[in-house]
Amino acid sequence: MVEGAEGAAELSRDLLIKAFDMMGELAASEGKVVEIAVYGGSCLLLASDIRDVTRDVDAVFLSERGFGYELADRVGQRLGLPDNWLNQAVKSVAPPKGNPQPNLLPFGEYPAGGQIGLRVFLPTPEYMLAMKLLANRRDDPDGMARDRRDLYLLMRLTGLKSPDQLAGLIRLCYPAVPGINARIAAKIDDILRGYGSAGEPEAPTWNAGRGDPTL
């Protein structure tokens, strides 16, 4: 674990994999398999070189939710991780109620080389791009700055960088959203102006599954 700019604890990729290994070992010892989908900065940390650290793990339990939280608490205490290091705060955005599930692709099984107790799934980079476009962090300037950089790199990775492409992606991934409202349209415009003035960033790597944004 490392310290952020303001002293906040941050998780590296190695530490996150270690935590997943421990969760998998504990689950396997009780004959269970926990499945989670990981989003947000932790998804970018695992799947690409877009992020070096993450403050927490935005996850949605696909199975064994109550048991999974117990495991996360036990592992967090053993490794000295922050409270709620693994949480479902992202569930309000992914996936929204009434919308299709995102195209979750297998990423890893834990522990490595032993009886499996944890399976981790990730969305596609296109779905992550749509999520970041919908995110509203007006009360979190640091989070807004991170999201802006993430958006630029995800646009470079996916090749989606026109107003119609980005609006269409949101409609595809979030059909229950009632149109592209003024806030979303303004954000798309702002991101595109910033992307154009900054110049295209170097394309990031993506070391996880690719495919259609939705099933």
pLDDT digits (tens, 9 = 90+) for 172-201: 888 877 778 898 999 999 999 999 887 788
- Whether 151 and 103 share a structural domain: no
Q: Please give the DSSP secondary-structure letter assigned to residue 48.
A: B
Q: Please indicate, yes or no, if residue 187 is contained in any of the structural domains.
A: yes
Domain count, the chain: 2
Q: At 3, is the pLDDT very low, low, confident or very high (cuts 50, 70, 90)? A: very low
- Whether 31 and 70 share a structural domain: yes
Q: Does residue 132 have a pLDDT over 60? A: yes
Domain boundary among the residues 77, 107, 122 is at 122
Q: Please indicate, yes or no, if residue 158 is contained in any of the structural domains.
A: yes
- Whether 11 and 96 share a structural domain: yes
Q: Does residue 113 have a pLDDT over 50? A: yes
Report CA-CA distances (Å) from 186 to 126, 180, 182, 192: 20, 10, 6, 10
Q: At 165, is the pLDDT very low, low, confident or very high (cuts 50, 70, 90)? A: very high
- Whether 147 and 104 share a structural domain: no
Q: Please indicate, yes or no, if residue 62 is contained in any of the structural domains.
A: yes
What pairs with residue 39 in β-bridges? 58
159/174 Cα distance (integer angstroms) = 19
Q: Please indicate, yes or no, if residue 208 is contained in any of the structural domains.
A: no
3-state secondary structure of 12: strand
pLDDT of residue 93: 60
The range of the structural domain enclosing residue 26 comes to 2-122
Q: Which range among 11-15, 65-69, 74-78, 170-174 shows the weakest confidence by mean pLDDT?
A: 170-174
Q: Please indicate, yes or no, if residue 213 is contained in any of the structural domains.
A: no
Nearest to 204 by CA among 129, 134, 96: 129
pLDDT of residue 48: 95
Q: Please indicate, yes or no, if residue 179 is contained in any of the structural domains.
A: yes
Q: At 77, is the pLDDT very low, low, confident or very high (cuts 50, 70, 90)? A: very high
189/57 Cα distance (integer angstroms) = 29
| β-sheet with 9-12: strand ranges across | 2-3, 9-12, 53-54
Q: Please indicate, yes or no, if residue 215 is contained in any of the structural domains.
A: no
Q: Does residue 99 have a pLDDT over 60? A: no
**Residue 56 burial (CB < 10 Å; 0-12/13-18/19+)?**
buried
Q: Please indicate, yes or no, if residue 150 is contained in any of the structural domains.
A: yes
- Whether 93 and 183 share a structural domain: no
- Whether 34 and 77 share a structural domain: yes
- Whether 113 and 20 share a structural domain: yes
What mean pLDDT is predicted for residues 69-91? 90
Taking the mean position of all CA atoms in its chain, how far away is CA 113? 25
- Whether 181 and 117 share a structural domain: no
- Whether 11 and 111 share a structural domain: yes
What mean pLDDT is predicted for residues 124-142? 85
